[in-house]
Structure formats: structure tokens, C-alpha cells
Structure 1
Amino acid sequence: MPRFTVAAAQYPIDRLADWAAYKAKLTSWVEQAVAGGAALLVFPEYGAMELASLDPATMADLAGSIDTVSALLPRVDALHARLAQAHGVHILAASAPRRDGDGRVRNAARLFSPGGAMVTQDKLIMTRFEREEWFITGGEALRVFDTALGRLAILICYDSEFPLLARAAVEAGAQVLLVPSCTDTLHGYWRVRLGSQARALEGQCFVVQAPTVGEAAWSPAVDVNRGAAGVYGPPDAAPAGGGMPADGVLALGEEGLGQWVFATIDTAQVDGLRADGGVLLVRHWAEQPGAVALPPVDVISLR
């Protein structure tokens, strides 16, 4: 399925009354995306932090909110798996802090297949807030997922600002980079957006950015959220790729508004541009002075 519709969420953080409210919200969002024709749904970084509101005693505490959300992850993941299976879609769930057996916390994005299988990509590089105040630990493995939609990789927010991560994924065959994000200023949003568009240019691939939006004054972690969802491609008009928009923007949401942003993408365009585009950045990457060895990548099948 080289051609499909992707839906990128501009997802508001809500204070939830109970688990039923979360289940109803997520189910509604998935149903809206499916009604729009989406085969791939992308939720944002730390969108799962709204689950901290289910425990009023700890929701205002950074450490306490982590443990509340982490404890709920098996239940959250089971719900996503059921929805992906019921609707026959791939879902990148909103990332969440996960406390591991070593006592450390990692920021985990989970991708669900139509068959209900789940794979995980941990955020690799922590922002100052994550490492200095929230004490989140970076993951270790960069992965590319071989799916019925093509080869997908996940660069969580800050990770998208580091070219060698994306390049390693591209070398492993990634055609679409998924960038769930959570930024509390427009400066942060633009850093991730510009990083995403640069990665689309360098990798001659599609990049899907999905942010959190709105305010959640009750939460010390995601109290303010700014951004707009976007789907980007390389700005190349070469017939080999079927032509892309001159600015590389295939779809863009209205900043701050809770909504889905849809775009139809064709991974055959990626293959065409990499083979015979107006420019050949993927092929010519190694000609850069100082080009360095790339991090290893695990390729995992989700078919």
C-alpha cells in the first residue's frame, strides 16, 4: 500500500473525570480519523500525560504523575490495540513516561498494527527539562518498522532536530518519519517543525508532525502546549516523485486548535525521488566533508 492517508493529531490535553472519559475521548478521535480515510493515525508526544488527572492526589507532582501514567500503560495499550484491530489501521499512540525495571523512566511511543501487534520506540535524546527537572532517561535503540504502509521510523520531538538519527533511519529504508511533539512555546514548535522539514529535505522522505495543544494548568509537565500538525515532503518537482509542493508542506493545521490534519502520501514518490529526483541528497550524503558513521538501526517487521 504505497499510497495512503495519514492523520496527524493536534491533540488537546484534558482533565479527565475517569477512565471512561479517556476511553470515550480516544475512541472518538480514532473514529474521526478513520471517517476521514486515514490508514495511519499519529498522536503526539506526552499526550498520555492527561491520564495523570485520574489521580488528583499526585497529578500536580512531576514524579507522582509519571508513576500514575506508567501504571496505566498496559490498560492504555490494550485499548489502542483493540481500536487498531477494530478499524484496520496503524496507530502511533501518544507517548508516555514508562518506569522500567531498572527504576529509570523513559519516554515511550508505541505503534500498533491492524493485527493488534505493538512495537516501541523510546525517545533517544532528552531536552533540558526532561533531563534536569523530570529525570527522564534516553533510550538506546533506534528502530525502523517494516509495515504494510512502508518503512516507518519514529523521531520523538527533540530527536527530529538531530540529522544523524534521521539519516540512519533513511539508510535503513525509512520512507516516512513520524514526529510526535510536545512544546510549550512557539519557539519550541518551530524548532521541531524546521527540524522536520529539514529531515524531509535531507532524507527525501515524508515527515509527519503531531503536537499537543491547549492549556492544562493542573499539570506541571504539560501545562502549556503550542503547535500545529503538519505533513511535509521534500520540495522537489521532479517527475520521478510525481512532484511535491514548492514549500514541501502537504498539509498544515491551525495552530492551537484541537483537530486532525490529513494528507495523502505515496511512498513510491520517495523511491522515485531518491532514484531520480531533481536533487539526490540521499545518494550524495557521503560526499559531505566530515560525513560520519551512523548509529545502528534495528529493523523490525510489523506486517
Structure 2
Amino acid sequence: MIRIAACQYAIELHESWEAYARHLEALCAEAAERGAQLLVLPEYAGLVLSGQLAPALRGDLLASIEGIQPLLQDWRALCTGIAAKLGVYLQPGSLPVRDADGRYRNRAWLFGPGGELGFQDKLMMTRFEREHWHISAGQGLRVFDTSLGRLGILICYDNEFPLLARTLAEGGADLILAPSCTDTEAGYHRVRIGAQARALENQVAVLQSPTVGLAPWSPALDENIGRAGLYVPPDYGMPRDGVIAESAALCPGSSQWLICDLDLDEVRRVRNEGQVFTRRDWPEQFERIRPA
């Protein structure tokens, strides 16, 4: 049994590094004090760093992501220190990172008690990211080996594409982290339905962490709607609707943690003893529909 925490993360303005660091440290400490071993923040949670820029820069869509690049090294060190101090695994949300080719990618790092474990880039870009923000797609999927189990990360829109989660499942992931950032209720439900479908198809667990609240100072994070949730395949020993837990309010006024206990051995058991074997039977569908 592991205890995991997904944050409904309110986008707040922190105008100094010290204020932001105190905020992130206190937020993570709150979850750790409640026994959480894995902490997940949402897509673009790291973009809150842009609050430290001058108003004209943080209010400019492109200038805001350029302006936070000098802060990334200190941000990674901060996250490394929080994970080590609290003895937790921390996925502190994603943020745009400029790579050596000059392109920005939406990147989610994972930190553990022993240091930085690596990152996963978003692979499928929304229209806003592609057409207005000029964020480029990453390449490849990674499974992270941890003392809690094997984890994968699918960022927001990536959860709406079955083959991505299938690739992680075939790589041994038992739990997929789904940091998300959506500005409409419809957008939230698209990701949430995708997350639950991926849990059903692959007989794995999926943990969603969303942004919430209004941030008129940020053209990228101005409106945020979402609900944190933990989803599993609905089968023997699992909740009948496949929902272990969801946060109570769709859009609370402040950051709130959804903290859940998850037995990955029980999730694995369903693959061998369930009413259905969706994971095992996946290849059959392609054999049946392949043209003669």
C-alpha cells in the first residue's frame, strides 16, 4: 500500500523567489505530514515562476516563458531539496523549457528522496500550445523505477491517446501520473475521461492533478478548472465505477491535496483474476480488424 497525493493547484501570484520557495515548501510539507509518499502537481504549475517577472513580461505570452529560463536551475535545486528533506517522490508539475535546438518543450521532472530521476516531455500538443505559444512536442516515453512502483507520466492532452498509455503499460508502468491544465469544464472532462479510459484499457492506476482558479496576470494560466482524481479499472476488488477518490469541489479557492491509499498489488491482481482481461486481449482487436 502506498499513499499518494494529487494537488488541485491554485494559480497564485508569487512576486519573489523567496515567496515562491516558501509556498512550494509549505505545500509539499502539508502532504508529507499527512503521510503522502508521492506528490503530484499539475501541468504548467512551474510557470508560476513567471510571477517573479516584471508585470509587462509576465503578461506577455512568449516573454513569460523566455523570462523564466534563468530560474530553472534554481527551481530544480529547490525541488531536489524538497524531495530529499521530506523523503518523498515529487512531480512538481511541468513548465516550458528551451532546449539546445531553441525550441520550447513542456517538461515534467520527477524527483526522489535520492535526487532527480529524469523527465518526461509532453508529446501531443494542443492547438493553443502549437499555434499560439509555439511549444514543440517531445519524443519518447519513459518508465521510472521507484521504491513505490513503476511510474509513467502523461501530460494533460497525452492522456487522450490510447497508444501512449499502452506503451507505458507495456514498459511495466503500474501507475500513470496525469498532470493537467484546462481552462474549461469540457477540457477538464476530456482529460479526466481519457485518464479513466487509460486505466480501464491497461488495467493500471491513473492519478490526475489539475490547475484551478483565476490568474489574470498570466495570459497562459488565466483560467483554470479541474478536479483531482485517482482512477483504476472497475473490476473485482476495485470501486464499481473505477474511481478511488476525487476532490470534492471542481474549482476550490485555494490549493488542496487529494490524498489516497493505493494498493498496486491489487491493481496487478485484476490483470490475472479480473472479470475481463482488457490488457491481455489488446492485441486481439488488431488481429480481428486487420484487412484480409
Whether TM exceeds 0.5 here: the answer is yes
| 1:283 alignment partner, one of 274, 280, 283 | 280
**Residue 173 of structure 1 corresponds to which residue in structure 2?**
172
Mapped contact 2:117–2:144 kept (Cα < 8 A): no
Q: How far is 1:101 from its partner?
A: 1.0
**CA–CA separation in structure 2 for the residues paired with 1:205 and 1:17:** 40
Offset from partner CA, 1:16-57 (integer Å, 9 cap, x none): 121111011101111110011100000000011111111123
Tell whether 2:86 aligns with 1:87.
yes
Q: How far is 1:179 from its partner?
A: 0.2
**Residue 250 of structure 2 corresponds to which residue in structure 1?**
255
Tell whether 2:57 aligns with 1:63.
no
Q: What residue ranges of structure 1 are gaps of 5+ in the alignment?
A: 238-242, 293-303
Q: How far is 1:291 from its partner?
A: 8.3
Query: Taking structure 1 as reference, are residues 291 and 5 closer, same or farther at Cα in structure 2, changes over 3 Å only?
Result: farther
Mapped contact 1:125–1:159 kept (Cα < 8 A): yes
1:256 counterpart letter in structure 2? C
| 1:272 alignment partner, one of 255, 263, 269 | 269
Tell whether 2:243 aligns with 1:244.
no
**CA–CA separation in structure 1 for the residues paired with 2:287 and 2:207:** 29
**Residue 10 of structure 1 corresponds to which residue in structure 2?**
8
**Residue 137 of structure 1 corresponds to which residue in structure 2?**
136
Offset from partner CA, 1:242-269 (integer Å, 9 cap, x none): x111111111112112200011011111
**CA–CA separation in structure 2 for the residues paired with 1:117 and 1:9:** 20
* Worse-superposed segment, 177-186 or 141-150: 141-150
Tell whether 2:41 aligns with 1:43.
yes
Q: How far is 1:118 from its partner?
A: 3.0
Between the two proteins, the alignment pairs up a number of residues equal to: 285
Offset from partner CA, 1:130-168 (integer Å, 9 cap, x none): 000000000001111111111100000000000000001
1:137 counterpart letter in structure 2? S
* Worse-superposed segment, 45-54 or 127-136: 45-54
Q: What residue ranges of structure 2 are gaps of 5+ in the alignment?
A: none
**CA–CA separation in structure 2 for the residues paired with 1:230 and 1:280:** 24
**Residue 198 of structure 1 corresponds to which residue in structure 2?**
197
**Residue 158 of structure 2 corresponds to which residue in structure 1?**
159
1:284 counterpart letter in structure 2? D
**CA–CA separation in structure 1 for the residues paired with 2:161 and 2:69:** 27
Mapped contact 2:15–2:53 kept (Cα < 8 A): no
**Residue 298 of structure 1 corresponds to which residue in structure 2?**
none
Mapped contact 2:9–2:256 kept (Cα < 8 A): yes
Q: How far is 1:117 from its partner?
A: 2.4
Q: How far is 1:62 from its partner?
A: 1.1
Deviating above 2 A after TM superposition, structure 1's stretches of 4 or more consecutive aligned residues are 289-292
**Residue 301 of structure 1 corresponds to which residue in structure 2?**
none
**Residue 27 of structure 1 corresponds to which residue in structure 2?**
25
Aligned to 1:52, the other structure's residue is in SS state helix
**Residue 222 of structure 2 corresponds to which residue in structure 1?**
223
Superposition RMSD on alpha carbons, in Å?
A: 1.2
Aligned to 1:117, the other structure's residue is in SS state strand
2:177 counterpart letter in structure 1? L
**CA–CA separation in structure 1 for the residues paired with 2:203 and 2:165:** 11
% identity of equivalent residues? 51
Query: What TM-score comes out, normalization by structure 1 length?
Result: 0.92
**CA–CA separation in structure 2 for the residues paired with 1:212 and 1:146:** 27
Query: What TM-score comes out, normalization by structure 2 length?
Result: 0.95
**CA–CA separation in structure 1 for the residues paired with 2:20 and 2:221:** 17
**CA–CA separation in structure 2 for the residues paired with 1:164 and 1:251:** 25
Offset from partner CA, 1:268-301 (integer Å, 9 cap, x none): 1122111221111110000103689xxxxxxxxx
Offset from partner CA, 1:111-134 (integer Å, 9 cap, x none): 001112231000001000000000
* Worse-superposed segment, 40-49 or 110-119: 110-119
**CA–CA separation in structure 2 for the residues paired with 1:63 and 1:118:** 29
1:71 counterpart letter in structure 2? P
**CA–CA separation in structure 1 for the residues paired with 2:144 and 2:267:** 16
* Worse-superposed segment, 48-57 or 202-211: 48-57
Query: Taking structure 1 as reference, are residues 60 and 234 closer, same or farther at Cα in structure 2, changes over 3 Å only?
Result: same
